[in-house]
Amino acid sequence: MKIAFLGSNDSWYLRDLQRAAMGDFELTALPFSELATSSDGTVYSNGQALTDFDAVLVRTMPPGSLEQVVFRMDALHKLERLGQLVVNSAKSLEYAIDKFVTTDLLQQAGLAVPKTLVVQTVDQAIEAFRTLGNDVVLKPIFGSEGRGIARLQDENIALRAFKLLTQAGAVLYLQEFIEHEGYDVRVFLCGDNILSMRRHNALDWRTNVSRGASAEPFTASDEQIQMARIAATALQVSLAGVDLLPAKNGITYAIEVNGVPGWRALQRATGVDVSRIVLEFLGKL
Is the confidence at residue 146, as pLDDT, over 70?
no
SS3 222: helix
- Residue 98 class from Cβ within 10 Å (0-12 exposed, 13-18 middle, 19+ buried)? middle
- Residue 47 class from Cβ within 10 Å (0-12 exposed, 13-18 middle, 19+ buried)? exposed
Give the CA distances from residue 58 to residues 5, 259, 260, in Å, rounded to whole numbers and listed in that order.
6, 9, 7
Count other C-beta atoms under 10 Å from residue 35's C-beta.
Answer: 22
221/228 Cα distance (integer angstroms): 11
SS3 96: helix
- State the chain's mean pLDDT as an integer: 93
Question: Does residue 158 contact residue 164 with C-beta atoms inside 8 Å?
Answer: no
What is the per-residue pLDDT for 155? Answer: 97
Is the confidence at residue 3, as pLDDT, over 70?
yes
pLDDT > 90 in the chain, percent: 82
3 state SS for 128-177: HHHHCCCCEEEECCCCCCCCCCEEECCHHHHHHHHHHHHHCCCCEEEEEC
205/179 Cα distance (integer angstroms): 9
CA atoms within 13 A on the CB side of 41: 8
What is the per-residue pLDDT for 19? Answer: 97
Q: Would you state the torsion angle of the CA atoms of residues 85, 277, 59, 102, taken in this order, to the nearest 10 degrees?
A: 80
- ∠ Cα 17 19 20 (to 5°): 65
pLDDT in tens, 76-118: 999 999 999 999 999 999 999 999 999 999 999 999 999 999 9
What is the per-residue pLDDT for 242? Answer: 97
Is the confidence at residue 143, as pLDDT, over 80?
no
What is the per-residue pLDDT for 186? Answer: 96
55/78 Cα distance (integer angstroms): 14
pLDDT in tens, 187-243: 999 988 999 999 988 777 777 777 677 889 999 999 999 999 999 999 999 999 999
Using alpha carbons, select from 161, 160, 204 the residue that is nearest to residue 184: 204
Calculate mean pLDDT across residues 238-262. 95
What is the per-residue pLDDT for 144? Answer: 62
Domains of the chain: 2-87 (3.40.50.20), 96-111+179-284 (3.30.470.20), 116-176 (3.30.1490.20)
Question: Does residue 3 contact residue 282 with C-beta atoms inside 8 Å?
Answer: yes
Give the CA distances from residue 154 to residues 60, 91, 150, in Å, rounded to whole numbers and listed in that order.
35, 38, 12
What is the per-residue pLDDT for 257? Answer: 96
DSSP string over 9-40? TT-HHHHHHHHHHTTS-EEEEE-GGG-EE-TT
222/225 Cα distance (integer angstroms): 5
Q: Residue 57 corresponds to which amino acid? A: L
Q: Which range has the worst mean pLDDT, 24-38, 132-146, 150-164, 229-243?
A: 132-146
Calculate mean pLDDT across residues 13-21. 97
What is the per-residue pLDDT for 118? Answer: 97
Is the confidence at residue 147, as pLDDT, over 80?
no
CA atoms within 13 A on the CB side of 145: 10
What is the per-residue pLDDT for 145? Answer: 56
